[in-house]
Homo-oligomer: A and B are copies of this chain.
Amino acid sequence: MFIDDLVEKIKYLNNPSVLGLDPMIDYVPEFIKYDFFKTFGYTLKGASESILEFNKTLIDSIYDIVPAVKPQLAYYEQYGIEGVRAFEETVSYAKLKGLLVIADGKRNDIGSTSEAYANAFLGETFVTQNKSFTAFKSDALTVNPYLGVDGIKPFTDICKRTGNGIFVLVKTSNPSSVEIQDLVVSDGRTIYENVADLVKEWGSELMGKCGYSSVGAVVGATFPENAVKLRERMPNTYFLVPGYGAQGGSAKDLAVYFNKDGLGAIINSSRSFMCAYKSELWRNKYNEEHFGDASRAEAIRMRDEINSAIGGT
């Protein structure tokens, strides 16, 4: 089951972090782009092959120290079919290396359509009555709650069968998340608290042996005061926490996202990890050719910073 695998890996590696693979062609070192643009021209194919090569080196550089990666679909879709192929191959490569893969697509729709998304990312698609294939099979998918349970149940139904998981948007990391998520309903709860209560309910049928559910919640690193309330409200829900680093979430605030057992949250970093070789912190130590080493160094720095913040080792 997804959540048991995730918790086991987090414990084994002593690392509650996930690395985002949200590639822009500008992130890719020149020497990689040079080769692929030379072969495929200045095309979406050339860009997508460059991105895939970049991702593979990033994965090679951290697969033994990090439990999971989170490729963000938007960044691949912008490069068209070839970009989506780079996503597919990134997922396969990461899984081959033993990483858990959280596809970040914020997918959602009415029931029948959510079922198609669930087939695509967490299950399988039948082409005849007896023959099925997986499309972009990942271990978990991020989903949006705006449509209520109809849009969620197809995902949890498939997770029950396949052992996969989802993370539902509860409180997002961006400044304008307050516009809708922080509105206060007549019973005194905010919208994100309402969603939190629904997520808890939806997750009750997907509890793992570890005491957490395979239905997790996205809770942004930029609103620690909200996280305190959410942590109490949903003690058995795993938090996927974006917004640390580049978006301004700070390490000292991370402790409130975790339970007393040191579990309950996984912190995401994307840009600071992917572009470590360009950063003030690492660019003097690692040149462009060794961008993977810079990303590994950043992943270790981040692991230690999070562990120190939550009182781990």
Chain A residues proximal to chain B, CB less than 8 Å: 22, 24-25, 37, 42-44, 46-47, 72, 74-75, 77-81, 83-85, 88, 106-111, 113-114, 116-117, 119-121, 125-128, 131, 133-136, 144-151, 169, 172-181, 183-186, 191, 194-195, 198, 242, 247
Contact = CB atoms under 8 A, between A and B. Distances in A.
Contacts of A191: 180, 183, 191
Nearest to A137: B80
B77 A136 contact: yes
A120 B174 contact: no
A75 B109 CA distance: 11
Contacts of A181: 146-148
A109 B47 contact: no
Contacts of A110: 172-174, 242, 247
A181 to B, nearest CB: 7
> How often does this chain occur in the complex, in copies?
2
A297 to B, nearest CB: 24
Contacts of A183: 185-186, 191, 194
B175 A150 contact: yes
A185 to B, nearest CB: 5
10 contacts: A44-B127, A44-B133, A47-B125, A78-B117, A78-B125, A110-B174, A148-B174, A148-B180, A149-B179, A151-B176
B173 A194 contact: no
Given A80-B136, A106-B109, A146 B174 contact: no
Contacts of A194: 180, 183
A175 B79 CA distance: 36
Contacts of A81: 81, 84-85, 88, 135
Given A80-B136, A114-B74, A181-B146, A107 B106 contact: yes
Contact of A146 (B109, B150, B172): B172
Nearest to A178: B148
Contacts of A79: 125, 127, 135
Contact of A42 (B25, B128, B136, B198): B128
B44 A117 contact: no
A111 B148 contact: no
A171 to B, nearest CB: 10
A173 B151 CA distance: 11
Contact of A179 (B117, B125, B198): B198
Given A147-B177, A148-B178, A80 B135 contact: yes
Given A108-B144, A148-B174, A183-B185, 9 more contacts: A74-B107, A77-B135, A81-B81, A81-B88, A84-B84, A144-B146, A148-B176, A180-B198, A186-B186
